[in-house]
């Protein structure tokens, strides 16, 4: 039976049509009685435009440098499918728990909802799924007989190892420190990023068969020559050298870098700070160092040469530090470390005012002559930026402007070496490092398989990029096409194209933090849980509420609007699969369904 015939018979309320046409008075009924159904009337012929379903790329997806399919896992959270949400997230990243806590979440800036009221709490939801979903070890493809060494186990290294392993390559991570994780382990304090959680995520890599060798410094403990047994090497060693202040007395006892302080604390070493600690800098390391010092019974002052607005640190972090009692001395710059017996006694400072913006867009500080003042202190912690140390690198790798030179696929000047993360020129963030690890994994895989990276890029770049989709790459490298529930057009769904009639303003969900009183009580160095995590995750109720605020930009979520508002009863929910079927024989092409789609997941097309 043809579809046409089926449609004609689509008539649950009555039996076969009685005689539908008449030759004349002999078979015409005596009364005007209509028993046949109008279904025969193919009103589809009235149409010149036709609705169709197609998904777009939600802006959060490309707002994430790592191309997380944020909308997809938010939807799974709202459906209570936490395991699947976590699995979805882990298609693109090995460390959702880390990102859910420590990512600076640029996705929320691109969230369309930000233009309506306030953005969806994507970061909190990512932490929620990592807390509430059960971690599954991802599938590893059949072994390829290729091997890759990953140097450094920070976010770039972990991501690169994770994705390469999924593709079936043998991967060995070399980590100089005792424990894996790099900056995640040693650069972010425990109260922000619990070590157990990090270990749990790294454990997934181990279970996948990634070999992790800790306490091995490449170039020292093993030679670069030894690396030649690997087909490719990824360099993700990060930056470790603190920028110097460039003032006198900097070498005195009692002056230490923020990174060093954090690393020591994270390694469980005893740190003597004295009573008064001065932290110099306005970035996240400064705040982390200050709050860590608070937990070591110090009185902490942060010295920053610009004003609060210019601080590069997360606002939330600054606020938390303030609440915990960190004092901020703004518009002041250090001029000299005052020492006594080569031991810090005070810091001499100078007041500054702000002038014209510099190339970073922030107003340039200008020293006010004669405004010197002295702040007594026991320890000075410097946190004014980090530099890479490339002295350990093998010979011949091109380095420029303090970064390893790489091409689009993150290949270095030596085609066997790839590099990513803070060692290349890119923003020094976890999520950018993750993205670099992914990109390098794809670059390495292409070069191992002799495939074209450019061609791959064309197939897996999300909308305008630069974010890449590992989900799409895994299918692409197998020459498979992903069967999407709804065909996807690789364009961003803009805010203006949403139908705001269907959304109401709502409060952004705020995650809870451990109460300040409790925090203050547990902060003394004597308290056993002084590095207890400060931020609490969302409750299920909160998560549902937060997920419910998602517009699902450009994505059909079966809201039924098209079905409900069809005047021609020509949109039918599919019973056995996702989405809706449009009855082409009867759809008159009025366009109501497309106009009333809240999220621009439909369009009218010429036939």
Partner 1 sequence: MGNHAVSWGVLRSRAQVIAAYPITPQTQIVEELSEMCADGDLDATFIKVESEHSAMACCIGAAQAGARTFTATSAQGLALMHELLHWASGARLPIVMTDVNRAMAPGWSIWADQLDSLAQRDTGWMQMYCESNQEVFDLTVCSYKIAEQLDLPIMVVYDAFLLSHTSEVVDITDQGPIDDFLPPRQAELKLDPGKPYAFGSLVMPEYYYEMRYKLQEAMERAGGVIDSVLEEWAERFGRKYGQVEGYKLDDADIVLVTSGTTTSTTKYMVNQYRERGEKVGILKMRTLRPFPVERVRKELAGRKRVLVIDKNMSPGLGGVWAQELRAATAHIPDVPPIQCYIAGLGGRDIRPETVRDVIEHGKTQESLEKEYHWIQLKN
Partner 2 sequence: MKAVSEFSKSKRLIKDFKEREIMGPGHLACQGCGATLNMRYLLKEAGPNTVMVIPACCWTIIDGQFPFNTLGVPVMHTAFETAASAASGVRAALDRQGKEDTNVIAFAGDGGTFDIGLQALSGAAERNENIIYCCYDNEAYMNTGIQRSSATPELAWTTTTPEGHPKQGKKKDIIQILAAHGIPYAATLNAAFPEDFLKKVRTALSMKGTRFLHMISACPPGWKIDSSMSIKAMRMATESKAFPLYEVYDGVKYHITHESKGTPVKDYLKMQGRFRHLTAENVDFIQRRLDYQWEQLLHRGQLEPFNG
CB under 8 A: which stretch of 195-203, 397-405, 434-442, 581-589 binds partner 2? 581-589
Q: Inter-axis angle of helices 122-132 and 82-89, to 10 degrees?
A: 110
- Out of partner 1, partner 2, none, what residue 540 binds, judged by CB under 5 to 8 A for its kind, is partner 2
Residue (of 551, 594, 44, 48) closest to 603 by Cα position:
594
548 binding partner 2? (CB under 8 A): yes
Site pattern 34..73 for partner 1 (x: CB under 8 A) = xx--------------------------------------
- Near partner 2 by CB under 8 A: residue from 543, 554, 580, 600: 543
Cα separation, 546 vs 510, whole angstroms: 9
CA angle, residues 370, 374, 375, in degrees to nearest 5? 145
9 versus 371: smaller Cβ distance to partner 1: 9
Q: What is the DSSP string of 492-506?
A: E--GGGS-GGG----
State the Cα–Cα distance between residues 305 and 366, nearest whole angstrom: 9
Beta-sheet pairing, 327-329 with 332-340: unpaired
> From the list partner 2, partner 1, none, which binds 207 (C-beta under 5 to 8 Å, kind-based)?
none
Closest alpha carbon to 468 in 138, 160, 62, 109: 62
Residue 27 touching partner 2 (CB under 8 A): no
Q: Identify what 564 binds: partner 2, partner 1, none; CB under 5 to 8 Å per kind.
A: partner 2
Cβ within 8 Å of residue 260, ≥6 positions away: 242
Q: Write down the H helix ranges in 494-539.
A: 516-522
Q: How far apart are CA 503 and CA 498, in angstroms?
A: 10
Q: Is 601 in the site for partner 2 (CB under 8 A)?
A: no
Q: Two tokens at 304?
A: 């920053």
Residue 142 interacts with, from partner 2, partner 1, none (CB under 5-8 Å by kind) = none
Distance CA 201, CA 370 (A): 53
Preceding amide of 226 cis, omega within 30: no
Q: Output the smallest distance, CB 561 to partner 2, in A.
A: 6
The interface partner of residue 560, options being partner 1, partner 2, none and the CB cut-off 5 to 8 Å by kind, is: partner 2
In the block, which residue shows the tokens 């470790």? Answer: 240
DSSP 350-410: EEEEEEEE-TTSSEEEEE-TT--EEEE-SEEEE-S-EE---TTSPTT--EETTEE---TT-
Which range in 23-31, 260-268, 314-322, 371-379 contacts partner 1 by CB under 8 A? 23-31
In the complex, the smallest distance separating the C-beta of residue 18 from partner 1, rounded to whole angstroms, is 9
Residue that has been written with the tokens 């490449």 in this structure: 218
Nearest distance, CB of residue 133 and partner 2, angstroms: 12
Which residue, 40 or 373, has its beta carbon nearer to partner 2?
40
Provide the token pair at 68.
């997380």
Instruction: Please give the Cα distance from 129 to 121 (Å, whole number).
Output: 12
Q: Which does 567 bind (CB under 5 to 8 A by kind): partner 2, partner 1, none?
A: partner 2
Residue 58's closest CA among 119, 132, 102, 103? 119
Judged by beta carbon distances under 5 to 8 A according to partner kind, the member of partner 1, partner 2, none in contact with residue 25 is partner 1
User: Rounded distance, CA 311 to CA 251, Å?
Assistant: 26
Reading the block at residue 83, the tokens are: 């395991």
HSE-up of 252 (CA within 13 Å, CB side)?
24
228 binds, among partner 1, partner 2, none (CB under 5 to 8 A by kind): none
Kindly state whether residue 13 participates in binding partner 1, applying the rule CB under 8 A.
Answer: yes
Q: Which lies closer to partner 2 via its Cβ, residue 300 or residue 509?
A: 509
Contact between 127 and partner 2 per CB under 8 A: no
Distance in Å, CB of 416 to partner 2, minimum? 49
- With binding defined as CB under 8 A, does residue 19 bind partner 1? no
Q: Work out whether 558 is an interface residue with partner 2 (CB under 8 A).
A: yes
Stretch that binds partner 2, among 91-99, 310-318, 369-377, 580-588 (CB under 8 A): 580-588
379 is written with which tokens?
């320890």
| Contact by Cβ (8 Å): 266, 369 | no
Shorter beta-carbon distance to partner 2: residue 306 or 586: 586
Separation of CA 316 from chain center: 18
Q: Is 560 in the site for partner 2 (CB under 8 A)?
A: yes
The string of DSSP letters for 280-312 reads: E-SSHHHHHHHHHHHTTT-EEEEE-SS-GGG--
25 touches partner 1 (CB under 8 A): yes
Least CB distance to partner 2 at residue 590 (A): 4
Query: Quick check: 1 binds partner 1 (CB under 8 A)?
Result: no
Among partner 2, partner 1, none, the one that 607 touches (CB under a kind-dependent 5 to 8 A) is none
- With binding defined as CB under 8 A, does residue 22 bind partner 1? yes
Site string for partner 2, 485-524 (x = CB under 8 A): ----------------xx----------------------
Tell me whether residue 36 or residue 312 sits nearer to partner 1 (CB atom).
36
Q: Return the residue of 10, 20, 28, 512 that touches partner 1, per CB under 8 A.
A: 28
Assess contact for 231 and 221: CB atoms under 8 A: no
Binding residues for partner 1, rule: CB under 8 A, are: 13-14, 22, 24-25, 28-35
Contacts with partner 2 by CB under 8 A lie at 10-14, 18-22, 29, 32-43, 46, 78-80, 501-502, 540-541, 543-544, 547-548, 552, 557-561, 563-565, 567-570, 572-573, 583, 585-586, 588-592, 594-596, 604
């Amino acid at each position: 039976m043809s579809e046409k015939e089926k449609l004609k018979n689509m008539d649950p309320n009555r039996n076969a049509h009685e005689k539908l046409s008449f030759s004349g008075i002999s078979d015409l009924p005596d009364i005007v009685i209509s028993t046949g159904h109008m279904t025969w009337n193919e009103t589809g012929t009235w149409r010149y435009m036709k609705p169709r379903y197609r998904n777009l790329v939600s802006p959060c997806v490309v707002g994430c440098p790592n191309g997380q399919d944020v909308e997809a896992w938010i939807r799974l959270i709202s459906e209570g499918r936490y395991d699947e949400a976590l699995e979805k997230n882990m298609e693109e990243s090995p460390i959702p728990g880390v990102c859910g806590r420590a990512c600076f979440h640029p996705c929320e800036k691109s969230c369309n909802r930000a233009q309506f009221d306030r953005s969806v709490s994507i970061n909190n939801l990512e932490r929620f799924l990592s807390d509430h979903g059960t971690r599954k070890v991802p599938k590893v493809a059949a072994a390829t007989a290729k091997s890759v060494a990953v140097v450094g186990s920070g976010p770039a290294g972990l991501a690169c190892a994770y994705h390469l392993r999924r593709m079936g390559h043998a991967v060995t991570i070399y980590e100089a420190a005792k424990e894996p994780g790099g900056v995640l382990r040693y650069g972010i304090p425990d109260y922000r990023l619990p070590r157990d959680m990090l270990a749990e995520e790294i454990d997934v890599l181990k279970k996948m068969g990634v070999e992790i060798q800790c306490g091995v410094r490449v170039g020292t403990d093993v030679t670069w020559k030894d690396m030649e047994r690997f087909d490719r090497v990824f360099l993700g060693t990060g930056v470790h050298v603190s920028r110097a202040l460039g003032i006198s007395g900097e070498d005195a006892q009692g002056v230490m870098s923020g990174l060093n302080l954090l690393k020591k604390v994270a390694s469980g070493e005893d740190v003597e700070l004295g009573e008064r600690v001065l932290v110099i800098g306005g970035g996240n390391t400064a705040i982390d160092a200050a709050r860590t010092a608070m937990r070591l019974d110090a009185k902490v002052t942060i010295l920053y040469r610009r004003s609060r607005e210019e601080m590069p640190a997360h606002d939330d972090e600054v606020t938390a530090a303030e609440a915990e009692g960190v004092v901020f001395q703004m518009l002041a710059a250090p001029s000299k470390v005052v020492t006594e017996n080569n031991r810090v006694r005070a810091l001499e400072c100078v007041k500054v005012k702000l002038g014209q913006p510099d190339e970073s867009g922030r107003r340039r500080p200008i020293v006010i002559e004669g405004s010197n003042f002295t702040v007594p202190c026991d320890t000075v912690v410097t946190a004014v930026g980090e530099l890479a140390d490339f002295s350990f690198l093998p010979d011949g790798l091109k380095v420029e402007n303090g970064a390893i030179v790489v091409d689009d696929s993150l290949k270095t000047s030596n085609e066997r070496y790839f590099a990513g993360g803070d060692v290349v020129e890119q923003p020094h963030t976890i999520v950018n490092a993750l993205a670099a690890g992914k990109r390098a994994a794809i670059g390495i895989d292409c070069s191992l398989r002799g495939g074209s990276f450019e061609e791959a890029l064309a197939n897996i770049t999300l909308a305008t990029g630069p974010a890449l989709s590992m989900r799409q790459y895994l299918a692409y490298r197998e020459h498979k096409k992903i069967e999407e529930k709804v065909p996807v057009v690789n364009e961003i769904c803009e805010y203006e194209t949403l139908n705001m009639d269907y959304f109401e303003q709502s409060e952004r969900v705020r995650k809870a933090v451990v109460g300040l009183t409790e925090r203050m009580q547990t902060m003394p160095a004597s308290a056993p849980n002084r590095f207890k995590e400060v931020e609490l995750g969302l409750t299920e109720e909160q998560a549902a509420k937060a997920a419910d605020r998602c517009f699902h930009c450009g994505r059909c979520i079966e809201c039924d609007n098209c079905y409900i508002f069809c005047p021609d009863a020509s949109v039918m929910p599919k019973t056995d699969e996702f989405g809706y079927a449009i009855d082409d024989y009867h759809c008159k092409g009025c366009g109501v369904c497309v106009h009333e789609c809240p999220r621009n997941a439909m369009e009218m097309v010429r036939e």
